[in-house]
Amino acid sequence: MDKNPKKGFRYWYENVFKYHYGKYAVVFLIFAIAIAFAVYESVKNKTSYDFNMAIMATVSIPYEAVSELEQLVADTVGDLNGDGEVNINIQIMDYETAGMGKAGIIMAQDEYVVFIMDENNSAIYKSNFNELSDYGITPDRNIPTRVYIGDTPLMKQINPNIMFYACLADWTTDGKGNKAWTEAGVKVINAILDSK
């Protein structure tokens, strides 16, 4: 009788796995560890924004030009998500750098509630926004989903040649979004209007 029967896990591991699949297993293990590390790093370092908004215009706007607007929004909104930090995300989309392709994607995300647009875009996308009078904001006479903010010093500093309008997308009316984001969006629009 054979002292080492040709069956069982140890026999399979020593004579089959190590001989036929050992090299592949080592390579697979290295790839699995690398992928797990990359996923961990991407999740660990992800910024959690307190407030998201977008600026859409027909001309290019440099990010440096919106620093005061970003500070006003940060002061108005504060630490909305309770993580101890105030992080504001302002997406800038324009026709000159082909950023308008992102507009549809951004406008479909429920975390974006305030949109600052030029006159043309605010008229084109008016059906995507809520009537501002429902939130205590006096809207534009012709289009009730926007309010003119282009005469504020803050917006003139960004670009004095653009007629900027603010629009609000209240996703809670569709059963999505976050009521706190909508309330913060109303505060942001009022803060911009009061910055005169």
Closest CA to 82 of 180, 190, 171: 180
Contacts of 98 (CB under 8 A, 6+ apart): none
pLDDT at 99 over 70: no
pTM of the model: 0.74
Look at the domain 51-194 and name its fold: D-Maltodextrin-Binding Protein; domain 2 (3.40.190)
| Domain positions in the chain | 1-46, 51-194
Choose the weakest-confidence range: 9-13, 41-45, 167-171: 41-45
**What percent of the chain stands above pLDDT 70?**
92
